[in-house]
Structure 1
Amino acid sequence: MSSPCDLQYAPAGDVGVALMAIDSRLKAVYDGQAGTDPEQRQLMDQFAASLGPEEANDVLDGACTLIYMFMQWLRMAHEQHDRDVIEYVVPGFVASMRMMPKSIRPEAIPTMAGLVVAAGTGLSPSLWRKQYGEWTEGEMNSLEATALLLAEHINRLTGDRDFATRMVTEALSTTNQD
């Protein structure tokens, strides 16, 4: 049975801008500067403020596309070892989010966990979220953290700090060539 949250109905959004933001955050985390560079934070805030409503929605959809891509990669990697991606990824993901109370509001954690489960089961995270209303301001940090945590998890599993970013970049390159 088809679902209104099937990927075929989902907008991809601006994956490039979302990936750029996540890659920048990953590099800051790996360099030990996460959250400590006020100039970078100011530039990101200015960029976000310069977006119109449609562009901002495109970046949100792009972040959801990243989450979907990351969860699909994790699903395939876990299936190779006869493991369920939900069982092996979601508990650690939720625990990580709970350790970030300054960035992630506790009430956003169930929504982000649902977003990850939706992506892990092949549904569009963007469409899954839209059935519950519009994104809220309080969910923006949580959405960014969700993509960041999944990318970092992939990088840790592969032993390659750039793997998640490179995987998406290569997928985008292949899509653009077609």
Structure 2
Amino acid sequence: MSSPCDPEYAPVGDVGAALMIIDSRLKGIHDTKSGTDPEQEALTHHFTASLGPSEVDGLLDGACTLIYMFMTWLRNTHEDHGKDVIEYVVPTLVATMRMMPKSVRPEAIPTMAGLVIAAGTGLSPNLWRKQYGDWTRAEMNPLEATAFLLAEHINRITEDPDFATRLITEALSSADED
């Protein structure tokens, strides 16, 4: 039975821009020499501040597409080991978000967990979220944090700091070839 939240009905959005932001955050966190680069932070802020309404929608859809792709990879990996992705990923994600009160307000955590659960069960996170109304400003940082934390989780599992970014860029490259 088809669902209105089936990924085939979802806009893909600007996955490239969303990935650029997440990759920038990953690199900033792991740059042990200087920590977060203030210049990179300023560039990212300038980029997001310059977006118009349709570009913001594209970026939001792109972030949700990243979440979907990351959760699809995680679901397949966990299933290969006889494990449930929801059981192993969601509690860790929620616990981590609870430790980030400046970036993720407590009231946003259920929505972000819902996005991840939707993606983990094969539903489109952006269509799942859309049924509850428009995105709020308070959900922007938590959405970015969710995509970031999933990418970081994948990188830790694979013991490769660039695996999540490479996973998406290879998927985008193969989609371009088709």
**Contact 2:97–2:104 under 8 Å retained in 1:** yes
CA distance in 1 between partners of 2:116 and 2:82 (Å): 19
The yes-or-no answer on 1:10 pairing with 2:17 is: no
CA distance in 1 between partners of 2:31 and 2:77 (Å): 27
- Matched residue count: 177
The yes-or-no answer on 1:139 pairing with 2:139 is: yes
Following superposition of structure 1 onto structure 2, how do residues 46-65 of structure 1 map, counting pairs within 5 Å? 46-65=46-65
What's the secondary structure of 1:47's corresponding residue? helix
Output the amino acid matched with 1:77.
T
User: What do the CA deviations read for 1:56-83 (whole angstroms, capped 9, x no partner)?
Assistant: 1001000000000000000000001110
Equivalence for 2:42? 42
Following superposition of structure 1 onto structure 2, how do residues 1-178 of structure 1 map, counting pairs within 5 Å? 1-32=1-32, 36-178=36-178
**Contact 2:24–2:40 under 8 Å retained in 1:** no
* Structure 1 position 41, deviation (Å): 2.2
Structure 1: give runs of 5+ residues left out of the alignment.
Answer: none
CA distance in 2 between partners of 1:38 and 1:83 (Å): 40
CA distance in 2 between partners of 1:26 and 1:115 (Å): 21
CA distance in 1 between partners of 2:44 and 2:105 (Å): 20
TM-score when scaled to structure 1? 0.97
**Contact 2:112–2:143 under 8 Å retained in 1:** yes
CA distance in 1 between partners of 2:48 and 2:132 (Å): 24
